[in-house]
Amino acid sequence: MSIDWASFTPWHALGGGALIGLAAAVLWLGLGRIAGISGIAGGLASFTASGGDRAWRVLFVAGLVGGAGIVHLATGGLFEIRTGYPLWLLLPGAFLVGLGTRMGSGCTSGHGVCGIARFSVRGLAATVTFMATAFVTVFFVRHFFGPGGVA
C-alpha cells in the first residue's frame, strides 16, 4: 500500500490538533474540567446534573458539532462522509467502544489529550492500550474483511 501524497495535509492536522489542545486548555483553566468527550456526553445523559453543569456540557458538544460544520462549509466539503457500513458491524463496534470507555474510566480525548498533557501514567497506559487495540483491529478487519474493511 502506498501513501497518497496528494491527500497528505499536515497543516490541517497540525491546525486541528492545536485547536483541540486549545479547547482542552480553556476547559481545564476555565472550569477545571477534563475535556474527555465520554464524560462530557455521559454527564448530559445524567439525570442528576445541575443546570450549570449541563449548560457547559451542551455548549462544548455544540462547539464540536458546530466547528465541524464550519470547517465543512469553509472548505467546500473537503471531507467526505463515509457511508455504507453494515449495521451488524457498527452496532457491536459501538457497544465495545462504550464498554471499553467505561472500563478504562475515560476515552481517548480524556486520557490521550488531557491525561498525557498532565503527565498522567494512567492516561499514558490507557492511550497506549487504545492505540495498540486500534492497530490490531484495523489489521484484522483489513486482512480478513477485504480492502475496504467490509465483507
State pTM to two decimals. Answer: 0.71
Point out the least confidently predicted range of 28-37, 78-87, 142-151: 142-151
Is 36 exposed, middle or buried, given 0-12, 13-18 or 19+ CB atoms closer than 10 A? buried
Is 101 exposed, middle or buried, given 0-12, 13-18 or 19+ CB atoms closer than 10 A? buried
Pull the grid cell for residue 126.
490507557
Question: For 58-77, b where at least 16 C-beta lie within 10 A, e where not — what string?
Answer: eebeeebeeeeeeeeeeeee
Pull the grid cell for residue 34.
477534563
pLDDT in tens, 74-128: 877 666 767 777 888 788 888 888 888 888 888 888 888 888 888 999 999 999 9
In this structure, the number of other CB atoms found within 10 A of the CB of residue 126 comes to 24
pLDDT in tens, 37-84: 888 888 888 777 677 788 889 999 999 889 888 888 887 766 676 777
